[in-house]
Amino acid sequence: MLHLYTFCVDIGRISPPMLELALDWLVKSLDKHNRFTLHVFTNMECSLEHPNVVYEEYFDNSEEDLFGDNWLNLSWNKINIWQHLYESTGECFTWIDLDTIVTANIEYINDYDHLFLENGGGCEEPNLLFDNNTEITVPRNRYIQGNLWKLNPELYEALLATFADLQKLGLELRYDFQDLVNYYLHIKEMPLWILGFNVEAHTINGLGIWHPTDRVHVRFEGLEKLWWDEEILRSEYYPDKEIHLVTLTFGSMMHHVMGTSLFDDFVEDCL
């Protein structure tokens, strides 16, 4: 049984109907392959009813406005909600972004007390971690994404301690929690379990599926390369790799593939 959580929160960035549509896709894709419970923290009236979905009122009890940006504050709050869930249930929950589609059984997550997801692919261009530092970078393909991760209590404390150290150094994280994890893994060189690298190395699940060498998100050209090998999703870019999660992003999805027959057919096949 997977213990997952996500946000379906309207901050004026993505429309409520689009948020609900993504939630529907996520739940249906999980339902097809996995035993799960999904806690959905929301400030909306969601119409989706499912026995494995638990709705909770979204809250942010941060003592300060860390980023001065509604979206970044929302994203950082994932770690606060993780702690809330751990304290109230004793379970180490796994975060999953709303704009993610699950295409396989990922219950192997339960075998690990923590887990993160990297971009994958072949793009080794330097990826920034901070808004005010251009020297500290990691290769794009090894960069840790923010759309799937699992913590344990010790790692939670270690990451918060690392964040405090970065604040003392005056380093400003570019994308909140995920850049913090990248710093912890690649700069502090602390060992972590990484999906597609040292966990399920035969898979590729990050933004790398959309192009082998470029810095891109979901694109029509990448969709054209996806194909089903019986019940296994693959890409012509990486025919020897299995795809267990499809990383979408609302912005690129709405601007590049939404409404195309190829995307509609792909989603239908996934669900």
* Average pLDDT value for the chain: 95
Nearest to 40, CA basis, from 22, 24, 58, 28: 58
pLDDT above 90: percentage of residues in the chain? 86
Instruction: Note the pLDDT of residue 250.
Output: 86
Task: Decide if pLDDT at 258 tops 90.
Answer: no
Query: Is the Cβ–Cβ distance between 161 and 168 less than 8 Å?
Result: no
Task: Decide if pLDDT at 255 tops 80.
Answer: no
In this structure, of 31-35, 94-98, 251-255, the range with the lowest mean pLDDT score is: 251-255
Rounded alpha-carbon distances, angstroms, from residue 260 to 48, 52, 219, 224:
24, 31, 11, 12
User: What's the one-letter identity of residue 96?
Assistant: I
Instruction: Note the pLDDT of residue 210.
Output: 94
pLDDT above 70: percentage of residues in the chain? 100
Nearest to 100, CA basis, from 42, 177, 29: 29
Other beta carbons within 10 angstroms of residue 107's beta carbon come to: 13
* Mean pLDDT within 231-251: 94
* 138-186 pLDDT tens trace: 999 999 999 999 999 999 999 999 999 999 999 999 988 999 999 999 9
Task: Decide if pLDDT at 264 tops 90.
Answer: yes
* Mean pLDDT within 209-221: 89
Instruction: Note the pLDDT of residue 142.
Output: 97
Cα–Cα dist 85/49, whole Å: 21
Instruction: Note the pLDDT of residue 225.
Output: 96
Q: In what order do the strands lie in the sheet with 226-229?
A: 226-229, 232-235, 238-243
Instruction: Note the pLDDT of residue 252.
Output: 79
* 81-98 pLDDT tens trace: 999 999 999 999 999 999
* Nearest 10 degrees: Cα torsion 86, 88, 93, 99: -120
In this structure, of 14-28, 201-215, 245-259, the range with the lowest mean pLDDT score is: 245-259
Cβ neighbours of residue 28 under 8 Å, at least 6 residues apart? 271
Task: Decide if pLDDT at 251 tops 90.
Answer: no
Rounded alpha-carbon distances, angstroms, from residue 230 to 78, 126, 160, 227, 265:
35, 36, 43, 9, 16
* Mean pLDDT within 228-250: 95
* 54-81 pLDDT tens trace: 999 999 988 778 787 888 888 899 999 9
Structure confidence at residue 120 as a pLDDT band (50, 70, 90)? very high
| Residue of higher predicted confidence among 27 and 253 | 27
Cα–Cα dist 264/148, whole Å: 24
Instruction: Note the pLDDT of residue 166.
Output: 97
